[in-house]
Amino acid sequence: MASQLPDDRIVMTLDAGRTGLKFSAIRGIEIVVGPVTRATEGDNLDRCLHNIIDGFETLQHSLPAAPVAISFAFPGPADYPRGIISNLKNFPAFEGDVALGPILEDKFHIPVFINNDGDLFAYGEAIAGFLPYVNDLLAKAGNPKRFRNLLGITLGTGFGAGIVHDGQLLLGDNSAAGEAWLLRNKLDPNTNAEEGTSIRAVRRVYAQHAHTNFEDAPEPKVIFEIGMGQAPGNQEAAREAYRQLGVVTGDAIAQALTLIDGLVVLGGGISPAWPLFMPALIESLNATYDANRLPRLPSIVFNAQDSADLERFLHGDARQVSLGHSARTIEFDPMRRTAVGLSRLGTTLAVAVGARAFALRKLDHPD
């Protein structure tokens, strides 16, 4: 994966939000031009498409070399391999089926690749972020263990996820792998996990415990500051809001890790509040079932944001194993474990790095 980084090819990318479009050009793991911003105008298809095309055109005119592809994240549901976006709730203009990828290919005459932001975030962190960071720390610690699988989680307006298995981004047969937002909500099993892991969840729980209306609840950044004693407000309610987010997020991650078995990296707008939610998240991952005391996971989960926990993770249970009659020994670390930590690139850059790497892989190894 890392071999792609020195490649000089430029890919144009886009961060598409409900209120704004942010265009950049990336080479390696660096933004070479941008950001260029345009309004989304997601309630009018013609204006939205015009702004997307205009943003890429403006970006293209400032590039030091011709781009080889356009690659970016866009909300779904979508047939991402075909570049067709269908019936978006947050973009009312995209009613029915809109062939966004082919429209851009006809305009710019270069390949266009569209994916989910959770997928591209995980891919970027697997290439140049959390995954190589952890493996480098293990090597420096003299531990033989290495990781090749990564679950990327984004916490923000929604609850996104992406899965990288042995260097490959797992997309699924219906472009629907990693749809963690539909996992069950531990604290309210009649709803999905996103209702306990998102911006609205933090605001809702704060409002409930502060005895105020949801509309009057502050944004999560302020709620975090209240919980840390850095801003006025109901500190107990703020801490409870993030504790509940940690419980639901941890349980959802546990459900995923039973099948994925890899490292976990967190990104998104809520992730900087980890000091308030990470303890409950880690506790959920390392919990046992009440009825039979079986562990929630086959592996111990460590908090990579805590220096002492990280040190225990890196040391593991490394030992030398004798080869019987031979004088030679081999390194061995039998401890089943994983770690949860924050994005090393930042969410926006990780998505861009993932978008570029996905495009180059498709160009170099077409199906």
Identify whether residues 329 and 259 lie together within a single domain.
yes
The last residue of one of the domains, among 62, 90, 115, is 115
Q: Is 296 within the bounds of a domain?
A: yes
Q: Is 125 within the bounds of a domain?
A: no
Nearest to 304 by CA among 264, 247, 258: 264
**Beta strands of the chain (E only): which ranges?**
11-16, 20-27, 30-39, 69-73, 78-79, 84-86, 97-98, 112-115, 149-155, 159-165, 168-169, 263-267, 300-303, 319-322, 329-332, 337-342
Identify whether residues 226 and 180 lie together within a single domain.
yes
Q: Is 167 within the bounds of a domain?
A: yes
Q: Is 366 within the bounds of a domain?
A: no
Residue 331, pLDDT score: 82
Residue 43, pLDDT score: 87
Which residue ranges in the chain fall short of pLDDT 50?
Answer: 1-4
Task: Please tell me the total count of domains within the chain.
Answer: 2
Four-point Cα dihedral 276, 278, 281, 287, nearest 10: -110
Identify whether residues 134 and 236 lie together within a single domain.
yes
Identify whether residues 184 and 271 lie together within a single domain.
yes
Identify whether residues 303 and 164 lie together within a single domain.
yes
CA–CA separation, 79 and 102 (whole Å) = 12
The long-range contacts involving 92-97, CB below 8 angstroms and separated by at least 24 positions, are 92/42, 92/43, 93/41, 93/42, 93/43, 93/44, 93/45, 93/47, 93/48, 94/42, 94/45, 94/48, 95/45
Identify whether residues 297 and 258 lie together within a single domain.
yes
Identify whether residues 111 and 165 lie together within a single domain.
no
Q: Is 120 within the bounds of a domain?
A: no
Residue 6, pLDDT score: 62
Domain that holds residue 169: 130-344
Give pTM, 2 decimals: 0.92
Residue 174, pLDDT score: 87
Residue 319, pLDDT score: 83
Phi/psi of residue 26, each to 5°? -125, 140
Q: Is 365 within the bounds of a domain?
A: no
Nearest to 193 by CA among 161, 152, 233: 161
* CB of 261 closer than 8 Å to CB of 299: yes
Give the tens place of pLDDT for each residue, 88-130: 877 888 888 899 999 999 999 999 999 988 999 999 999 999 9
Q: Is 360 within the bounds of a domain?
A: no
Identify whether residues 105 and 136 lie together within a single domain.
no
CA–CA separation, 212 and 204 (whole Å) = 9
**CATH code for the domain in which residue 26 is found:** 3.30.420.40
Q: Is 356 within the bounds of a domain?
A: no
The last residue of one of the domains, among 115, 141, 175, is 115
Identify whether residues 241 and 102 lie together within a single domain.
no
Identify whether residues 150 and 275 lie together within a single domain.
yes
Identify whether residues 255 and 320 lie together within a single domain.
yes
CA–CA separation, 105 and 111 (whole Å) = 6
Identify whether residues 104 and 137 lie together within a single domain.
no
